[in-house]
């Protein structure tokens, strides 16, 4: 059965391209695929001959077209991926790898699922009538909006302030972040311990995957990450401090025979390539499950956003405590009187 694809799904930066991009970024082998190839694989998984067939059919897609269930769509996309890999004689990929990849695809965002299943009646042809509503977020995430927009772009491109916050990204709370760190520490796997510490530093996924041995520097027994800019038009570098013990890193490098020029986290399939996004998210998923955290919508980028929100919350609380101490009022309610009433004079 063909899954109904509408013109709205195909507009720039909308759902179909977004799903194809996720498929491309999490491709489970070292040899990457192009966006066009990802779109062709997705098109066949949704019941079309190719992407051109999707584009043509979308112009006449009926609002009454039957909609397969999400599990059915996932099964079809899995089959399409399997057939593509088989045609290229790719070995070493099992069903669980493909299943994990498909579960990462935001197929539920397609209009047929989001609109008609929810009883919406807006005109499909008007792209501005869908997807523009921003729901309320936690206050800490809202306060961090400008930073989070910057952080949410894996390529390091700062998004516009007018861009709605992507509510599909789950923000982990303090307890959940600590639970992940505890699980990794308990497992005592060198790679995972270093990988987790790097993730909890707030690094971008693209930066993490590009890390090489020479990007590490050591200060007071701690490790600094010297990160080249991910933007093509910038020569700027930045450094991130991590809580990793230098001795731990030295043992990891020696045990894995890494040297200058080697990726810090190489792919398990080909050490000449960095770890793939699929491998990275598979590791993250195993941590989440062991920490008894629902892995739905928790990606590496969601981890970064969570770290940023935690950092901003800590700064906010520290500033509040400093101001309360400066003003000399306890409880803080008294201090807030001054914050909210700058033109009022306190009673003698």
pLDDT tens digits, 110-130 = 888 865 444 433 333 443 333
What's the pLDDT band for 204 if we cut at 50, 70, 90? confident
pLDDT at 264: 92
Q: Which tokens hold the place of 31?
A: 């040899």
Would the pLDDT of 55 be above 70? Answer: yes
Of 254-258, 262-266, 314-318, minimum mean pLDDT range: 314-318
Q: Is the pLDDT of residue 23 over 50?
A: yes
Q: Where in the chain is the domain with CATH 1.10.443.10?
A: 143-348
Residue 50, pLDDT > 90, answer yes
Q: Which is nearest to 194 in space by CA: 152, 259, 256? A: 256
Top-confidence residue, 336 or 151: 336
Could you tell me which residues come within 8 angstroms of residue 185 by beta carbon, excluding any fewer than 6 positions away?
193
Domain 143-348 CATH (choose: 3.10.20.740, 1.10.443.10, 1.10.3720.10, 1.10.10.10): 1.10.443.10
What is the pLDDT, as a whole number, of residue 258? 92
217 strand-pairing partners:
224
d(C-alpha 76, C-alpha 69), whole Å: 11
pTM beyond 0.85: no
pLDDT at residue 145 tops 80: no
Lowest mean pLDDT among 141-145, 231-235, 294-298: 141-145
pLDDT at 338 over 70: no
- Closest CA relative to residue 69, chosen from 140, 145, 135, 1: 1
């Amino acid at each position: 059965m063909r899954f109904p694809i509408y013109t709205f799904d195909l507009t720039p930066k909308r759902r179909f391209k977004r799903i194809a991009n996720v498929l491309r970024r999490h491709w489970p082998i070292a040899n990457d695929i192009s966006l066009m190839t990802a779109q062709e694989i997705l098109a066949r998984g949704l019941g079309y001959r190719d992407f051109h067939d999707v584009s043509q059919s979308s112009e006449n897609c009926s609002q009454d077209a039957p909609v397969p269930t999400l599990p059915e769509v996932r099964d079809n996309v899995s089959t399409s991926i399997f057939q593509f890999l088989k045609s290229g004689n790719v070995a070493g990929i099992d069903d669980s790898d493909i299943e994990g990849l498909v579960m990462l695809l935001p197929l539920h965002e397609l209009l047929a699922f989001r609109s008609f299943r929810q009883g919406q009646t807006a005109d499909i042809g008007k792209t501005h009538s869908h997807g523009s509503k921003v729901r309320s977020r936690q206050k800490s995430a809202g306060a961090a909006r400008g930073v989070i927009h910057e952080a949410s772009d894996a390529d390091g491109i700062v998004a516009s302030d007018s861009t709605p916050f992507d509510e599909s990204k789950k923000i982990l709370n303090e307890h959940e972040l600590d639970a992940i760190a505890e699980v990794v520490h308990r497992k005592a796997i060198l790679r995972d311990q270093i990988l987790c510490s790097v993730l909890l530093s707030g690094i971008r996924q693209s930066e993490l995957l590009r890390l090489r041995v020479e990007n590490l520097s050591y200060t007071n027994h701690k490790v600094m990450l010297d990160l080249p800019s991910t933007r093509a038009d910038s020569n700027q570098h930045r450094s991130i401090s991590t809580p990793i013990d230098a001795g731990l890193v030295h043992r990891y490098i020696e045990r894995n025979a890494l040297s200058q020029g080697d990726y810090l986290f190489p792919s398990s399939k080909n050490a000449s390539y960095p770890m793939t996004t699929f491998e990275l998210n598979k590791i993250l998923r195993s941590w989440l499950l062991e920490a008894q955290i629902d892995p739905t919508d928790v990606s590496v980028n969601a981890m970064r956003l969570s770290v940023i929100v935690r950092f901003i919350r800590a700064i906010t609380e520290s500033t509040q405590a400093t101001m309360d101490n400066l003003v000399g009022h306890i409880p803080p309610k008294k201090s807030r009187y001054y914050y909210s009433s700058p033109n009022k004079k306190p009673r003698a």
